[in-house]
Amino acid sequence: MTELTPVQKQRLREQHRRFSSPAFLVQLALIGILLVIPLAFSSFRVIDVVAKIMIFAVFVASYDLLLGYSGLLSLGHSMFFGIGAYCLALVIYHLGPPSWYHILLATGVALTLSISMAVVIAFFSLRVKAIFFAMMTLALAEFADILAIQWYDLTRAEDGVSFKLPGIFSLDWTGTSFLGLEITGRITTYYFILVVSVFLFIGLLKFVRSPVGRVLKAIRDNEPRATALGYRTFRYQVLAIVFGSAMASLTGILFAMWLRYVNPGSVLSMPIMLNVLLMVIIGGLGTMYGSIVGAAFIKIAEAWLPDLQKVAKGLLPHIEVAHRLAERWILYFGILFILVVFFFPKGFVGTAKEIIRRRRGRRMERG
């Protein structure tokens, strides 16, 4: 048996350290929780919120790749999300009945469109100033939204497009029961989204931890210095935009699969882009895992804050002022966001990392 080289030994030590680290155990626990959600909760509302959290966690992570790791402020990332969603909906709607071929075709078309548009945006805007990139992405996103609203024959405008999915994803499909859980088309779609989301998130993690990701962080921190060291910064930024846009497009497909309905307001509107910005800030820029925290925070708040009115009526049935205050749930959403930014200026994950780093530094000084 040949003896391992020092490099191989070092790699084995790194792998052992990684797989035995608390972070890895937390990841496994999180995946385990997501697996048992349909078993633990019979309420579709809970399953719906968790499915959206998974989708938006990857979507926000793809945006964090641009803003947090590359320093590129895009105000039109939701356009690529909408491209993916609309490609699936329109392919099935216009070329139906639904089949696996249509899903694959829609995925191919969505990736082709997203990558092509990302390259065009990068080549026309990155060579000028960073603000031009932000303005160009915003203009194109607004154009895509208006196009979807105006082109009624293709997109059905604000009426939207409803469609069905094939095989085990169909709402009409019912399988056998498992541990008391009735396996339906909705449940299989949930687990499909879980598996794909995990793989996409791992892909984003691998990308930012690769040599390319390290160069992108160097460009973000000091682009002139990275250029002086011989790196072609433009190419690296184009690669980041293309990869992030492709990932956003794939999450759009997952979102359309879950909703089985697409309209401009649900996948292309500016509020979606603003929500993504909030999720990145709340979770923490340049952390990747912050996208999970940010998506969970926003989606849970959106789902349950509106219930304040019901709670107020139940607890204080005769106090009209309490009912009116409870109706303003969006105000409390804003207050929550302000508190998070105030107490966690680098986001939940970013602030947690900083605290851990400081404690390690103190231990090293003492030791």
Other C-beta atoms closer than 10 Å to the C-beta of 11 total 12
Residue 57 has pLDDT above 90, yes or no: yes
Torsion from C-alpha of 340, 341, 346, 348, nearest 10 degrees: 10
Domain ranges of the chain: 20-269
Structural contact between residues 251 and 58, judged by C-beta atoms closer than 8 angstroms: yes
Quick one: how far is CA 72 from the chain centroid?
A: 17
Cis peptide before 38 (omega within 30 of 0): no
More confident residue, 175 or 106: 106
What phi and psi, each to the nearest 5 degrees, are found at residue 150?
-85, -30
pLDDT band at 1 (very low <50, low <70, confident <90, very high): very low
What pTM does this model have? 0.91
In this prediction, residue 359 carries a pLDDT of 82
* pLDDT digits 0-9 by tens, 314-324: 666 666 665 56
Other C-beta atoms closer than 10 Å to the C-beta of 39 total 12
Cβ density class 41-75: b for 16+ within 10 Å, e for less: eeeeeebbbbbbbbbbbbbbbbbbbbbbbbbbbbb
Question: CA-CA distance, 317 to 102, in Å (whole number)?
Answer: 52
Q: Which CATH number is associated with domain 20-269?
A: 1.10.3470
Return the structure tokens found at 48: 């719906």
pLDDT band at 43 (very low <50, low <70, confident <90, very high): confident
Question: CA-CA distance, 256 to 91, in Å (whole number)?
Answer: 12
Q: Residues of the chain with pLDDT > 90: what percent?
A: 54
Question: CA-CA distance, 41 to 341, in Å (whole number)?
Answer: 32
Residue 363 has pLDDT above 70, yes or no: yes
